[in-house]
Structure 1
Amino acid sequence: MRVRLILSEVFTGLRRNASMVISVVLVTFVSLTFVGAAMLIQMQIGKMRDYWVERAQVSVVMCREDSTVPTCANGVATQEQLDTVAERLASPALSDIVRDVRYESADEAYQNLLDLYGDEYKDYVTPAQLGETYWVGLIDPGKGDVITEAFQGMEGVEAVKNQMQYLEPLFSALTVATYIAVGIAVLMLVAAVLLIATTIRLSAYARRREVGIMRLVGASNSFIQTPFILEGVFAAFIGSLLAGVAIVLGVHFGVGQYLHDRVTFITDWVDVKDAAIVIPVIVVLGLVLAALSAGFAIRRWLRA
């Protein structure tokens, strides 16, 4: 009987304040969608970082005919200089850093370029312009500077290039995008909390006679507050579910069927399994914020 009475009050409040409830649902939906999107972006950054960091290499580029750096004053790297670099890469001093080494001759580099960009580059590039390179895989990609320090300025070495230095700006830009999404989500969540509190106060004011009667007959504050809190929680729950649906659709269609086929340099994308991790988080977040804001609002109104 008590539960039935509380639920009756809840649905009465929802019916009387339908427009405000719809506003709460929409604001909660938009804000939690941003929260979920921010979480998925961060997951995607993590997947990309793990993928590329594992494959990132340091290249030790040997001198070519047209090299102009001081270490290449004698022209093309000699066999002795090539052997010196190979021996140092295989030395015990670098055994804890170097995972594997692949030597790429000028002819191999030239053929790889043609395979990648097409035969039209035959008229513009020659093997001598590419030179020889040692591609060094690292056990810990964060220690690429050790390889740079070991070979930078060495006779016969034109340059030492760490691929991670080209990837970090991309990760930084994506992280900034995440922060922007989080900032928008926080603003929307604040708006949702304020809107829920306002809705509860209006609902309480519209039913002030019923509240007064319940007080006269000895109803406890918790009994009076419960229907109002449940109204806010119900509206936030609907908004959370809509946000969950939007996230699943976005991942399935936006990522799985659109981006996956068009952005080919990313091979590991977030999927529905990742969305399944995000959805419970945003639902719980929506319910907790709604319960807290509604409870605070109705307690202040009852004390007034």
Structure 2
Amino acid sequence: MRHTLREAWSGLRRNLSMTLAVIVTMWVSLTLFGGGLLGAQQVELAKGRWYDKIEISVFLCVKDSKGSNCEPGQDATQAQKDTIRNTLESNPEVQTVFYDSKEDTWADFQRVYKDSPVLADMNADLMQDSFRIKLKDPEQYQGVVSAVAGLPGVQAVQDLRQYLNPLFEWLNVAKWTTIGLSLLLLLAAALQIATTIRMAAFSRRRELGIMRLVGASNWYIMLPFLIESLVAALIGAILACGSLAAVQKFLIIDRAQPSLKSVEWIGWPHVGLAMLGVVAVGVVLSIVPTVIATRKYLRV
């Protein structure tokens, strides 16, 4: 084992510049890969939280409403409201139905626009009453929308999913773009490791040939090269983990969380999972190229 470690250390010193290049490439690529994993977890966390809160709003007709279900100059009647409520409450996809009267909507409007001059020109009669529907399964919403969209007294049906889906689509694009770029850099790191090991093996080809002729096992010959690549990969992975920890501390905890308290942000357990993925990928990238690069010299 002493001979193996000595050979590995000798190889690291002889190829110091290439080893440093491998470390830096692994650092950058694994950091991007870990960032992609964090982004994926953040998207799923936000998606799960917001999808649990998705509600369908059914806006009722008022005097100035336009639409085939509305009578010109007339609010939705109490009979129409009762029909809409009964339709919603009898729907198996609906969990809870809330009714917001004009007065409730006016109170919320006053709270939101309390410092705005527009408040002086508004009153409760200009508000629009509505039903808010909490679904049992946020994914199953089409049946509720189609059941009430054509009822008399319904001016419009609004599903928050139409606003959230584009946001999550863009977040997914950013996530997969980051992961795609990191995979390209990881490929470059793997090729760089293979090149470094191939150069090291070529410089010691006579020694490897003698070892093979005297009966040294493939594992004994390959082990110093595996240690070289593994050391470089692990250093790059450790630096990448440090970068992910810095992102969590300085960007998310210190800046993002105080600024956007309504958003549920990833925590240290999520960062730990990303770090495990980074280390695992780093180890695989150090072993596979080394085995491929040294295979030629094991046949000497």
Other-structure match for 2:171? 174
Contact 2:145–2:157 under 8 Å retained in 1: yes
Give the 4+ runs in structure 1 shifted more than 3 A. Answer: 215-218, 301-304
Counterpart in 2 of 1:19?
A: 17
Q: Following TM superposition, by how much is the alpha carbon of 1:81 offset from its aligned partner in structure 2, in angstroms?
A: 1.1
Task: Name the residue aligned to 1:189.
Answer: 186
Cα distance between partner residues in 1 of 2:8 and 2:113: 66
Higher helix share: 1
Q: SS where residue 99 of structure 2 aligns? A: strand
Deviation at 1:107, TM superposition (A): 1.6
Q: 1:119 to 1:110 in 2, by over 3 A?
A: farther
Aligned-residue sequence identity (percent) comes to 35
Structure 1 range deviating more: 133-142 or 208-217: 208-217
Q: Which residue of 1 aligns with 2:53?
A: 55
Asked if the contact 1:225–1:295 (Cα under 8 Å) also holds between the matched residues in 2, the reply is yes
Distance 2:10 2:243 in 1: 29
Displacement, 1:207? 2.8
Does the CA-based 8 Å contact 1:63-1:76 persist in structure 2? Answer: yes
Three-state SS of the structure 2 residue aligned to 1:101 is strand
Structure 1 residue matching 2:98: 3-state secondary structure: strand
Structure 2 counterpart of 1:117: 113
Report the TM-score when normalising by structure 2.
0.94
CA contact (8 A) 1:66 1:129 kept: no
1:79 Cα deviation after fit = 1.4
Amino acid at match of 1:201: R
Equivalence map 1:1-304=2 (5 Å): 3-74=1-72, 75-91=74-90, 94=91, 96-120=92-116, 121-266=118-263, 268-303=264-299
- Cα drift, residue 116 of structure 1: 2.1
Structure 1: 5+ residue stretches without partners: none
* Paired residue type of 2:43: I
Q: What is the CA RMSD across the aligned residues, in angstroms?
A: 1.6
| C-alpha distance in 1 between matches for 2:103 and 2:123 | 9
Give me the TM-score of the superposition, normalised by structure 1: 0.93
Tell me if the contact between 2:95 and 2:134 (Cα under 8 Å) persists in the aligned partners. Answer: yes
Q: C-alpha offsets along residues 4-25 of structure 1, whole Å, 9 cap, x if unaligned?
A: 1000000000011111111111
Equivalent AA in structure 1 for residue 228 of structure 2: E
The question of whether the paired residues in 2 share the 8 Å contact of 1:65 and 1:128 is answered with no
What is the CA deviation profile of residues 148-172 of structure 1, one whole-angstrom value per residue up to 9, with x for unaligned ones?
Answer: 1111121111011111111111111
The count of corresponding residues between Structure 1 and Structure 2 is 298
SS in structure 1 of the partner of residue 141 of structure 2: helix
Cα deviation digits, residues 145-200 of structure 1 (max 9, x gap): 11111111211110111111111111111011111011101101100000000010
User: For each residue in 1:116-148, what CA deviation from the matched residue of structure 2 results, as whole angstroms up to 9, or x when unmatched?
Assistant: 232423134433333111011000111211111
For 1:181, what is the secondary structure of its paired residue?
A: helix
Secondary structure at the aligned position of 1:70 is classed as: coil
Letter of the 1:191 counterpart: A
Report the more deviating stretch, 127-136 or 177-186: 127-136
Structure 2 portions without partners, runs of 5+: none
Q: Distance in 2 between matches of 1:290 and 1:125?
A: 68
Greater displacement, 48-57 / 72-81: 72-81
Report the Cα distance in structure 2 between the residues aligned to 1:303 and 1:55, rounded to whole angstroms.
63
CA distance in 1, matches of 2:45, 2:126: 36
